[in-house]
């Protein structure tokens, strides 16, 4: 049991160092690879939501509060995206002004950490 715990901790820690190895990759290859990794991450998150989380919530049917919470989350993040004016650009010649992912990432991380803190303090339970 202890050996399995130590091995899993080492594997998880080594996996988190993958980002360090990307620093030595050429920018053009990294940008191409990044598109694939973002697509994979989006697919993993959507798969988790629609295959695991929502069916678990809906085991006894979807009460109104669960449906409204899901809808409120979608609307909230749509409004947040429009407020930040985040644009995804593939080409530098694109007419629209391309913004960095930094503002969107900062806003999402801030909201995520706030909600986690509220759950840990017991305010949203």
Of the residues 40, 61, 82, the one at which a domain ends: 61
Distance in angstroms (rounded) separating the CA atoms of residues 115 and 11: 29
Tell me whether residue 57 is in a domain: yes
Tell me whether residue 5 is in a domain: no
Domain holding 35, by residue range, is 26-61
- Short-list 22, 42, 21, CA closest to 31: 22
- Tell me what pLDDT residue 98 has: 59
pLDDT band, residue 18 (cuts 50/70/90): confident
Residue the block writes with tokens 């899901």: 70
Over residues 32-88, the pLDDT tens digits come to 777 788 888 888 988 888 888 888 877 877 778 878 888 898 888 888 777 766 555
Q: Domains in the chain: how many in total?
A: 2
Beta strand residue intervals within the chain, DSSP E:
none
- Tell me what pLDDT residue 93 has: 56
Distance in angstroms (rounded) separating the CA atoms of residues 35 and 46: 17
């Amino acid at each position: 049991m202890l050996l399995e715990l130590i091995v899993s901790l080492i594997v998880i820690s080594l996996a988190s160092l993958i980002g360090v190895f990307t620093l030595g990759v050429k920018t053009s290859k990294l940008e191409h690879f990044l598109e694939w990794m973002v697509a994979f991450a989006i697919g993993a998150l959507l798969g988790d939501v629609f295959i695991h989380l929502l069916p678990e919530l809906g085991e006894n049917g979807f009460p109104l509060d669960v449906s409204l919470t899901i809808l409120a989350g979608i609307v909230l993040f749509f409004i947040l995206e429009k407020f930040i004016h985040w644009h995804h650009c593939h080409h530098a010649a694109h007419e629209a002004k391309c913004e960095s992912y930094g503002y969107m990432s900062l806003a999402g991380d801030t909201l995520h950490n706030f909600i986690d803190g509220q759950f840990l303090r017991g305010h949203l339970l």
